[in-house]
Amino acid sequence: MTQHKDIQDPENFSEGDYQKYEFLLNAEDTPAEMLKEIVMTLAHIPTEKAQDLLARFKETDNAEKVEWLEPAMNEGKALFIWPETEQEERDMMALKLYHKKNDFIVDLMGRQQVCEYSINQYQIELKALQNLKTKKLNESEDIKLRIIALTDLIRMEKNKVEETKLEIILEEKINKKIKESIKTKRYINLESWDIDGFHFDGEE
């Protein structure tokens, strides 16, 4: 039975070690127990290389010989992203803020699209009203009032679009600086779903 391992020091593993692990993981005649030992080891090496080897191994036929591969990979990912220093903790917080702001920017873009859609609808209705001819006084006055109302709505929605565009530009500039401030290399390319399992005290 494969024993659970403590977190491993990446300095103890050379490129040659990774190449050996990769060869054994892909070899058809590698015994299941050896595969499990390698997977357990890689899952506890907090490096991008180890994570990549596990991800590629998951796609091979040998992967079915390690029944607990998925939990091991999840644990490996958690160890990989876990901050060990104050700088890494600060970078993790910055990374979370970066992705949160990305979601907010997408939301702003959605609001802009809603406003633009409303403008298009209002303009279609306005054009129809302007082309509508009537000899009835009451209808004529009602049409005039509706034209005024729609013109105001179009103006307000256009103002919202311009305000939202400016807000998006500012948020994108802020977020770019947040991303640039992250110094921990292994965090730079992580997606939001990669860090979902990590939570700070006080985080909602």
Residue that terminates a domain, selected from 57, 81, 105: 81
As a whole number, mean pLDDT of residues 170-186 equals: 96
Contact 56, 41 (CB under 8 A): no
Among the candidates 33, 55, 81, a domain finishes at 81
In a domain, 2, yes or no: no
**CB 186, CB 88: distance < 8 Å:** no
Q: Taking residues 18-46, what's their average pLDDT?
A: 91
Helix intervals (H) in the chain = 15-26, 32-43, 48-57, 69-81, 86-130, 137-180
pLDDT (0 to 100) of residue 5: 67
CB atoms within 10 A of CB 63: 17
- Tens of pLDDT along 76-121? 888 888 898 999 999 999 999 999 999 999 999 999 999 999 999 9
What's the number of domains the chain is made of?
2
* pLDDT score recorded for residue 160: 97
- Within-domain flag for 48: yes
Which residues constitute the domain of residue 183? 86-195
- Note whether 63 and 114 are same-domain residues: no
165 has pLDDT over 80: yes
In this predicted model, which residue has the larger pLDDT, 142 or 165? 165
Residue 123: its pLDDT value, please? 97
Q: Decide if 201 is inside a domain.
A: no
Residues 133 and 43 in one domain: no
State which of 81, 113, 139 marks the end of a domain: 81
Q: Within this chain, do residues 71 and 105 fall inside the same structural domain, yes or no? A: no
Residues 184 and 104 in one domain: yes
Q: Look at residue 3 and tell me if it is in a domain.
A: no
Q: Are residues 74 and 108 both part of a single domain? A: no
Residue 204 lies in a domain: no
SS3 187: helix
